[in-house]
Amino acid sequence: MNIEVVAVGTELLLGQIVDTNSSWIGEQLAAAGLNSYFQTKVGDNPARIREVLELALSRSDAVICCGGLGPTQDDLTRDVIAEVMGVELVTDDALVAKIANMFSSRGRRMPENNLRQAQVPKGARAMDIQPGTAPGLICPIDVTDGDGTKTSKVIYAVPGVPYEMKKMVEGVIIEDLIARSGEVAVIRSRVLRTWGMSESGLAEILADRIVELDNIGNPTLAFLASGVEGLKVRITAKAADDAAAQEILDAEEAQLLPIIGEWVFGRDEQNMEAVVIAKCAELGFTLAVAESVTGGYLSGRLCAVPGASAVFKGAVVAYDPAVKHNILGVPEGPVVSEETAVAMAQGVREALGADIGIATTGVAGPEELEGNPVGTVCLAVAAADGAIATTVQMPGDRERIRQFSTIAVLNMFRKTLL
Amino acid sequence: MNIEVVAVGTELLLGQIVDTNSSWIGEQLAAAGLNSYFQTKVGDNPARIREVLELALSRSDAVICCGGLGPTQDDLTRDVIAEVMGVELVTDDALVAKIANMFSSRGRRMPENNLRQAQVPKGARAMDIQPGTAPGLICPIDVTDGDGTKTSKVIYAVPGVPYEMKKMVEGVIIEDLIARSGEVAVIRSRVLRTWGMSESGLAEILADRIVELDNIGNPTLAFLASGVEGLKVRITAKAADDAAAQEILDAEEAQLLPIIGEWVFGRDEQNMEAVVIAKCAELGFTLAVAESVTGGYLSGRLCAVPGASAVFKGAVVAYDPAVKHNILGVPEGPVVSEETAVAMAQGVREALGADIGIATTGVAGPEELEGNPVGTVCLAVAAADGAIATTVQMPGDRERIRQFSTIAVLNMFRKTLL
């Protein structure tokens, strides 16, 4: 089964937004064992959108069309799909009620324009999952080819807002495509999340196994550097059913863990924050954070973990050095030092009444500080009975420095918990 | 003149690499006043590359084809272009010497494979600018349309390596295209960033002007919902030169501001944090933040503004209610209330020694809190002489709640500064 992706939006052609949606969708299709041979970007022009959709339908079995479902006059995807299907747009009363309710629950009046979003090509239906005002659409269509054969195909229309698009692709489209494909094979992946070894380092350590897997062909291995989410090692298996796929994944994980286990901190959706929060909850520890170089980012990551409130007390962002002294009781001295990091961790632990304090201080750039180059970061973890600290040199820009500092200090803490 | 971009590479379809090349090329074409209506990604498959190139030549005047010029067997762009042109590949001896020299100057032997890179479709020529071993190619081609008319078109082939591609587009292709087009037009955009009115609401208020602009055709308007970056209104103008384009943008901005000015907070790259930090710096105010529902995110955004350190003292993330009481001096009472938000803002202002305190508290979910539904957020701004607060109902998930809370509280503060 071949699936084609069409991204709609003049801003994509003008390079004002990079089309990451198509790439992400391509990744999901590949993971599900679905082929995808073409991806096209087209502007907000009805004739050209139609041309692209008709071409895509002629050469692929299904089309995922991304963008152009907003409430304004330049959102044309609904109208063009109705044209391609040769049907009228009809107002879906259930959608009107749903959208009106989104506004009224926020105490706002629904603008007249949003009624456009409740219009659906006749014969199409809205997806159940709808995170925003734009409904996703499933539009079945019979395509007649050169020799008169009719084939049932489908256009999925999803909003261009990445969050909304992802929910619909994950929750509705992939499943629908697999059902349509009629194949009984399933593709399942498992991610081993690692920290502390580079991508090329892991590839080198696993070189023999990679060659073996290339010969066997199933499962496959892939490496994905993912910033604060860690360096992911993804195992993908194809099998007749879920149980058989899980068996292959289990066997491969058992092969890999003796080789790379010391860097593995989590599986699948478990990020470093989630692992640390869960371990603290299990041990009954509470946690407080003092941040300078990470500026609130570390705290924000911890708060995003469901159930964080049982463990995480809060944070002090000491951007001005005076805050380090006044709130955290850090003695005068250099900003970027392990002593300061430890004093911050101890200070926030006491100030917020937590069992454990963790701290980051360093040089986010653009200029060096106290003779330390950009990317120098001191990390500390403190408890009532002592503290540990380390200095690391991070690569790259401000954003990567704060991501790497965050995962590195949490990993340091995690190791002390084991 | 219409230029189409084709990106070649299976890794682009699989989402292993995001195709930023096409976006960047689109931006350069727009800046040079050249139209671009389609961008296509295709894998390393000769039949499909040919299909895409032939379609592009049929509907556009020029094609920029990116990738597939490397030395290995899966680099097929040269071969397919020769097929499309209906010519042979010939070895260019000057290129052989040039590539061999690149290796020998680094003390390396040239692998046999690299000779492939010295092959050029007969009638095409290599670009003078060649940063790597892959030469860029200019391939003129006469395209015959349905009624037998012949038109001179061109395919430019450039490597997929961004650095090499950019040098060739900037140094060779744009100039060549402008010479071919015989036009001197430029395209310029201006973004008005807004907050406080929905996309459909703005479109409704601007409906008359949108209809007028649709008739005039230049400039054009577009709306872009961008989370914490605000809701962007983009004006795009086409003109003979930069000065004339800026004049059109100025005139349109002057038309729009009386209608939507009350929601405009910045222009182009100015986000809300940058506007607030700049205004505080101008007035000599320092700033501290108390966060509960935003969990450090607001602080992280402020820290990311260059020059923030002159204004921003730091933050207290009071995730545990006890931290609100102990560090910020917030009296006992409900967590989600305007009184609590004001007490947090006053508390952090005093604790961190800042002129202004701003605070967020609310329900990030997944469950309701104190009878308030998910998305209920109280925001406050406090100074020595008083405070203001408001309660808003945010849509969506945890991530959007914290983004919208952040921009909303900063906007509330910004308005008090005016």
pLDDT exceeds cutoff 90 at A276 = yes
The answer to whether B163 contacts chain A (CB < 8 Å) is no
Length of chain B: 418
Q: Please tell me the least confidently modeled range out of A320-324, B43-47, B175-179.
A: B175-179
Is B370 exposed, middle or buried, given 0-12, 13-18 or 19+ CB atoms closer than 10 A? exposed
Length of chain A: 418
Compute the nearest-CA separation of B276 from chain A (Å): 17
The H or E element containing residue B103 is helix B93-104
- Res. A282 pLDDT band, cuts 50 70 90: very high
The answer to whether A47 contacts chain B (CB < 8 Å) is no
Provide CATH 3.30.70.2860 ranges for chain A.
Answer: 186-267
What is the distance, to the nearest Å, from the Cα of residue B161 to the centroid of all Cα atoms in its chain?
20
Rounded to 5°, the CA angle B259-B262-B264 comes to 95
Q: What is the pLDDT of residue A238?
A: 81
pLDDT exceeds cutoff 60 at B262 = yes
Provide CATH 3.90.950.20 ranges for chain A.
Answer: 272-417
Compute the nearest-CA separation of A329 from chain B (Å): 13
Higher pLDDT, B107 or B103: B103
Radius of gyration of the CA atoms of chain A, in A: 26
Q: At what angle do helices A207-216 and A242-260 cross, to 10 degrees?
A: 160
The answer to whether A46 contacts chain B (CB < 8 Å) is no
The answer to whether B20 contacts A18, with C-beta atoms less than 8 Å apart, is yes
What is the number of other CB atoms lying within 10 angstroms of the CB of residue B339? 15
The answer to whether A27 contacts B37, with C-beta atoms less than 8 Å apart, is no
- Res. B147 pLDDT band, cuts 50 70 90: confident
The answer to whether A111 contacts chain B (CB < 8 Å) is yes
Cα–Cα dist A291/A182, whole Å = 53
Topology adopted by domain B186-267: Alpha-Beta Plaits (3.30.70)
The answer to whether A227 contacts chain B (CB < 8 Å) is no
The answer to whether A16 contacts B27, with C-beta atoms less than 8 Å apart, is yes
Q: What is the pLDDT of residue A225?
A: 74
Break chain A down into helix, strand, coil percent, rounded to 5.
Answer: 45, 25, 30
Q: State in Å, rounded, how far the first CA of chain A is from the last one.
A: 47
The answer to whether A313 contacts B323, with C-beta atoms less than 8 Å apart, is yes
Considering chain B, what is the average pLDDT of its residues? 92
Per-residue model confidence as pLDDT tens digits over A350-361: 999 999 999 999
Cα–Cα dist A224/A233, whole Å = 6
Looking at the partner chain, which of B25, B37, B318 has a beta carbon nearest the beta carbon of A43?
B37
Q: What are the φ and ψ backbone dihedral angles of B224, each rounded to 5 degrees?
A: -140, 105
CB B304 within 8 A of CB B340: no
CB A76 within 8 A of CB A83: no
Interface residue of A5, A35, A41 to substitute, partner B, most B CBs within 10 Å: A41
CATH code for the part of the protein at A3-181: 3.40.980.10
CB A329 within 8 A of CB A348: no
Looking at the partner chain, which of A13, A297, A399 has a beta carbon nearest the beta carbon of B39?
A13
Compute the nearest-CA separation of A49 from chain B (Å): 10
CB B391 within 8 A of CB B341: no
Per-residue model confidence as pLDDT tens digits over B220-249: 888 888 889 999 998 988 888 889 999 999
Q: What is the pLDDT of residue B183?
A: 67
Report, as an integer, the average pLDDT of A389-406: 87
Report residue B109 as tokens.
């032997």
| Residues A28-59 as b or e (16 or more Cβ within 10 Å = b) | bbbbbbbebbbbbbbbbbeebbbbbbebbbee
- Res. B210 pLDDT band, cuts 50 70 90: confident
The answer to whether B11 contacts chain A (CB < 8 Å) is no
Going from the C-alpha of B338 to that of each of A361, B68, B111, B392, the distances in angstroms are 33, 60, 71, 10
The answer to whether A102 contacts B289, with C-beta atoms less than 8 Å apart, is no
pLDDT exceeds cutoff 60 at B184 = no
Provide CATH 3.40.980.10 ranges for chain A.
Answer: 3-181
Report, as an integer, the average pLDDT of A195-219: 85
Is B30 exposed, middle or buried, given 0-12, 13-18 or 19+ CB atoms closer than 10 A? buried
pLDDT exceeds cutoff 60 at B209 = yes
Cα–Cα dist B336/B284, whole Å = 31
Cα–Cα dist B36/B204, whole Å = 29
Residue of chain B minimizing CA distance to A319: B314
Q: What is the pLDDT of residue B145?
A: 82
Q: Write the DSSP assignment of B236-304 as a string of letters.
A: EEEESSHHHHHHHHHHHHHHHHHHHGGGEEEETT--HHHHHHHHHHHHT--EEEEESTTTTHHHHHHHT
The answer to whether B12 contacts A23, with C-beta atoms less than 8 Å apart, is yes
Per-residue model confidence as pLDDT tens digits over A337-354: 999 999 999 999 999 999
- Res. A220 pLDDT band, cuts 50 70 90: confident
pLDDT exceeds cutoff 90 at B187 = no
Per-residue model confidence as pLDDT tens digits over A367-382: 888 899 989 999 999 9
How many secondary structure helices (H) and strands (E) does chain B include? 15, 17
- Res. B394 pLDDT band, cuts 50 70 90: confident
Cα–Cα dist B328/A289, whole Å = 16
What is the distance, to the nearest Å, from the Cα of residue B295 to the centroid of all Cα atoms in its chain?
26
pLDDT exceeds cutoff 80 at A199 = no
What is the number of other CB atoms lying within 10 angstroms of the CB of residue A254? 9
The answer to whether A53 contacts chain B (CB < 8 Å) is no
Q: What is the pLDDT of residue B196?
A: 92
Going from the C-alpha of B323 to that of each of A108, A153, B327, B330, the distances in angstroms are 34, 57, 5, 9
Report, as an integer, the average pLDDT of B263-271: 95
pLDDT exceeds cutoff 70 at A293 = yes
The residues near A41 (Cβ < 8 Å, ≥ 6 apart) are A6, A7, A8, A9, A12, A13, A19, A22, B22, B38, B39, B40
3-state class (DSSP) for residue A4? strand
Cα–Cα dist B181/B95, whole Å = 29
Higher pLDDT, A418 or B261: B261
What is the number of other CB atoms lying within 10 angstroms of the CB of residue B112? 8
Looking at the DSSP bridge assignments, the partners of residue A379 are: A360, A390
Is A361 exposed, middle or buried, given 0-12, 13-18 or 19+ CB atoms closer than 10 A? buried
Report, as an integer, the average pLDDT of A223-252: 88
The answer to whether B90 contacts chain A (CB < 8 Å) is no
The residues near B284 (Cβ < 8 Å, ≥ 6 apart) are none
pLDDT exceeds cutoff 90 at A218 = no
CATH 2.40.340.10 corresponds to the domain A272-417: no
Q: What is the pLDDT of residue A255?
A: 96
* A137: nearest Cα among A156, A153, A112, A122: A156
pLDDT exceeds cutoff 80 at A183 = no
3-state class (DSSP) for residue A159? coil
pLDDT exceeds cutoff 80 at B32 = no
- Res. B293 pLDDT band, cuts 50 70 90: very high
- Res. A146 pLDDT band, cuts 50 70 90: confident
Q: What is the pLDDT of residue A200?
A: 74
Q: What is the pLDDT of residue A344?
A: 97
Residue in the structure block whose two tokens are 């037009």: B185
The residues near A315 (Cβ < 8 Å, ≥ 6 apart) are A288, A289, A290, A291, A296, A298, A299, A302, A348, B296, B315, B316, B317, B319
Q: Please tell me the least confidently modeled range out of A328-332, B180-184, B205-209.
A: B180-184
pLDDT exceeds cutoff 90 at A237 = no
Percent share of chain B, pLDDT over 90: 68
pLDDT exceeds cutoff 90 at B338 = yes
Beta strands in B67-145 (DSSP E): 89-91, 119-121, 125-126, 137-144
Compute the nearest-CA separation of A319 from chain B (Å): 5
User: Across the beta sheet with B231-239, what order do the strands follow?
Assistant: B220-225, B231-239, B186-194, B264-267
B397 contact residues in A (CB cutoff 8 A): 131, 163
pLDDT exceeds cutoff 70 at B43 = yes
* B180: nearest Cα among B348, B8, B302, B63: B63
Cα–Cα dist A242/B134, whole Å = 45
DSSP state of A347: H
B375 contact residues in A (CB cutoff 8 A): 106
Q: Write the DSSP assignment of A94-140 as a string of letters.
A: HHHHHHHHHHHTTT-PPPGGGGGGGEEETT-EE-S--SSSS--EEEE
Amino acid at A206: L
Cα–Cα dist A137/A154, whole Å = 10
Per-residue model confidence as pLDDT tens digits over B403-418: 999 999 999 999 999 8
Per-residue model confidence as pLDDT tens digits over A91-111: 999 999 999 998 998 788 889
The answer to whether A170 contacts chain B (CB < 8 Å) is no
Report residue A174 as tokens.
């992939």
pLDDT exceeds cutoff 90 at B311 = yes
Rounded to 5°, the CA angle A403-A406-A411 comes to 125
The answer to whether B197 contacts chain A (CB < 8 Å) is no
For B:357-376, CB contacts with A below 8 A are: 364, 366, 373, 375
Looking at the partner chain, which of A37, A74, A364 has a beta carbon nearest the beta carbon of B48?
A37
CB A352 within 8 A of CB A346: no
Report, as an integer, the average pLDDT of A387-399: 86
Compute the nearest-CA separation of A246 from chain B (Å): 23
pLDDT exceeds cutoff 80 at A67 = yes
Considering chain A, what is the average pLDDT of its residues? 92
- ipTM exceeding 0.90, yes/no: no
Is B212 exposed, middle or buried, given 0-12, 13-18 or 19+ CB atoms closer than 10 A? exposed
Q: What is the pLDDT of residue A242?
A: 82
Q: Which CB contacts under 8 angstroms, 24+ apart, belong to B371-378? A: B372/B336, B373/A105, B374/B401, B375/A106, B375/B401, B376/B336, B377/B293, B377/B336, B377/B401, B377/B405, B377/B408, B378/B336, B378/B337, B378/B338, B378/B340, B378/B341
Q: At what angle do helices A174-181 and A20-31 cross, to 10 degrees?
A: 40
CB B358 within 8 A of CB B413: yes
pTM to 2 decimal places: 0.73
Query: Which of A186-195, B52-61, B63-72 ranks highest by mean pLDDT?
Result: B52-61
* B359: nearest Cα among B272, B284, B299, B270: B299
For B:388-407, CB contacts with A below 8 A are: 392-400, 402
